[in-house]
């Protein structure tokens, strides 16, 4: 099942708020944010100790290869808020994909 929503995220270090379109995909095996969106907005990233292999929806390896960075954000939708670590990857047409939360 695929659903697209407009939500807000806030950074945990600077509390900056950004609006972002998110694709909810019950088949995705993680939570991801696009590397270009992160760089364009100047969102702080955190290195992880063990890189994560990222695959596209068609099971092919992602063009960005392994991901070694995450962002720490608070996701806001209506009255719901949740702190999350999102893996940074190349998502092309999507800014964020949430698989399971």
- 62 has pLDDT over 90: no
CA angle 71, 95, 40 (to 5 degrees): 65
pLDDT at 28: 84
- In the chain, the domains with their CATH numbers are 2-98 (2.40.70.10)
Three-state secondary structure readout of the chain:
CEEEEEEEEEECCCCCEEEEEEEEECCCCCEEEEHHHHHHHCCCCEEEEEEECCECCCCCECCCCCEEEEEEEEEEECCEEEEEEEEEECCCCCCEEECCC
pLDDT, tens digit, 9 for 90 and up, residues 71-95: 999 999 999 999 999 999 999 889 9
Phi, psi of 58 (to 5 degrees): -90, 10
Tell me the C-alpha distance between 14 and 45, whole Å. 12
Provide the whole-model pTM. 0.89
pLDDT at 101: 54
């Amino acid at each position: 099942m695929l659903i697209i929503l407009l939500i807000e995220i806030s950074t945990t270090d600077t509390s900056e708020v950004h609006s972002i379109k998110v694709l909810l995909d019950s088949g995705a095996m993680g939570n991801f944010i696009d590397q270009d969106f992160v760089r364009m907005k100047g969102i702080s990233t955190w290195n992880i100790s063990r890189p994560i292999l990222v695959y596209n929806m068609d099971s092919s390896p992602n063009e960005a290869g392994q991901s070694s960075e995450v962002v720490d954000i608070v996701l806001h939708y209506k009255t719901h808020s949740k702190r999350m670590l999102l893996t940074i990857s190349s998502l092309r047409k999507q800014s964020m994909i949430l698989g399971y939360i």
